[in-house]
Structure 1
Amino acid sequence: MFTQYIYLHGFASSPNSAKARDISDRFSQIKTKLKIPDLNVGDFSQLTITRQITQVAAGFSDDSTPVTLIGSSLGGLTAAHLGQQYLQVQRLVLLAPAFGFLSHWLPKLGNEEVQRWQQEKHIMVYHYGEGRSIPLSYNFVTDAAQYQEKLLQRPIPTLILHGKKDEVIPIEASRDFARSRPWVELVELDSDHALGNVMEEIWQAIRLFCQLP
């Protein structure tokens, strides 16, 4: 049975990120198509998780083709919510998924900065894909607040790969998520949020989990 594979890059990233390119190359080597949509769609300023979900779902082949989503960081969080909403998503691979994203990010900004963002409607965020700072609308926060992990209860076979030294999304976030969901397998890696030093391990785990050639 044909499966559609889609990779979702992280926040302020792009389809040209190191991880996206690495995994894309490995899919090419086994002659399997991997789709990597640009979740910025030319307008990072108006990014929301809802927009990402709508965009990715619109790219599903048709209603009957099973989909495997591979998501990195915020892309992983987005993938998990897509799996909850769309039954054709039949497998999830989440790389350092951004569970509790706002609870980790907003405290780092500090209360004053967050209040200013709310008042001024935009905050400057460094965008790694663009190599420059871009204003991000406060709508991102109000939208993200409705995507709670407790809503993710559909038992989809899920593989989480998370670095024990993750400085952006602590590994506890994935441990908590996996603890109450027996369909989730968590692999803890000796790495940070970028996971750059463990790409070979990640690929072998993906290959096994997705039963790729």
Structure 2
Amino acid sequence: MAGFSVIYIHGFASSPSSGKARYFQQKFTDLGIPIQVPDLNQGDFTHLTLTRQMQQIASILTPAPTVLIGSSFGGLTAALLAENHPQISHIILLAPAFGMATYWQEKMTPAQLQQWQHQGTLPIYHYGEGKELPLHYDFLLDLRSYDDGKLVRPVPTLIIHGKSDDVVPICVSQTYAQSRPWVRLIMQEDDHSLKRDLPLIWQEIGAFLGLASTQN
């Protein structure tokens, strides 16, 4: 036995049924390693916040060693949780959404932000549901209260980020890794989805965690 369990934290506007979630769930299950893939939408995507997401993951942590794998917004969640939960032994961040509050504010004009605040919700395409769903302005307010630049706990960290990522620029992972010697950054020939070569990513994860039998 590997001596740890895994929690996979899916991305923003995604679900436990995403291709990456299902792929890694099957791979760890095949090795007999317990893995959970919680639904972070909780049937109420509209009122999603980073705080709610972190509380949900924290509620299923046990005192035993746990590896967190987070995709995009899930990667940001994993990094923040690892700061204050010593049972989190390793984190694997797939195109982590560091600086997400800044991204949202740069993506939208001041007028669009004001409209979101005034109307209360913003329509967001939800990939898990295959349709637009409203997202409350509290999402952005809550996001602004976190600063991933202050994370200092030296938890072994593997970051895999696509060089062609046009959603979360790879420079945010480069900046994060530069001042943290416990972080290993692997830059892939891929975009934000990181779906081009999942077997290669799995091999990198296996090597990072010291697993056997992580070939295709």
Please classify the TM superposition score into its range, dividing by the shorter chain length. over 0.9
Deviation (angstroms), 1:204: 0.3
Show the counterpart of 1:55.
Answer: 56
1:43 aligns with 2:65: no
Contact 2:50 2:139 in 1 (8 A): yes
SS of alignment partner, residue 23 of structure 1 = helix
SS of alignment partner, residue 122 of structure 2 = strand
- Cα distance in 1 for residues equivalent to 2:76 and 2:111: 27
1:9 aligns with 2:10: yes
- Runs (4+) off by over 4 Å: none
What is the aligned-residue identity percentage?
46
> Which amino acid in the other structure matches residue 212 of structure 1?
L
1:90-109 alignment to 2 at 5 Å? 90-109=89-108
1:52-131 alignment to 2 at 5 Å? 52-60=53-61, 62-63=62-63, 65-131=64-130
> Which amino acid in the other structure matches residue 50 of structure 1?
T
- For residues 35-70 of structure 1, give each alpha carbon's deviation from its aligned partner in whole angstroms, at most 9, with x where no partner exists: 10000011101101111111001011x32x011100
> Which amino acid in the other structure matches residue 18 of structure 2?
S
Deviation (angstroms), 1:103: 1.7
Deviation (angstroms), 1:13: 0.2
- TM-score, with normalisation over the residues of structure 1? 0.96
Show the counterpart of 2:24.
Answer: 23
Contact 2:4 2:33 in 1 (8 A): no
Unaligned runs of 5+ in 2: none
- Cα distance in 2 for residues equivalent to 1:132 and 1:109: 21
SS of alignment partner, residue 40 of structure 1 = coil
Deviation (angstroms), 1:111: 2.0
> Which amino acid in the other structure matches residue 206 of structure 1?
I
SS of alignment partner, residue 202 of structure 1 = helix
Show the counterpart of 2:157.
Answer: 158
- TM-score, with normalisation over the residues of structure 2? 0.94
SS of alignment partner, residue 202 of structure 2 = helix
> Which amino acid in the other structure matches residue 163 of structure 1?
G
> Which amino acid in the other structure matches residue 185 of structure 2?
L
- Cα distance in 1 for residues equivalent to 2:185 and 2:11: 19
Deviation (angstroms), 1:28: 2.2
> Mean Cα displacement is larger for which, 196-205 or 109-118?
109-118
Show the counterpart of 2:186.
Answer: 187
Unaligned runs of 5+ in 1: none
Alignment RMSD = 1.1
- Cα distance in 1 for residues equivalent to 2:53 and 2:181: 27
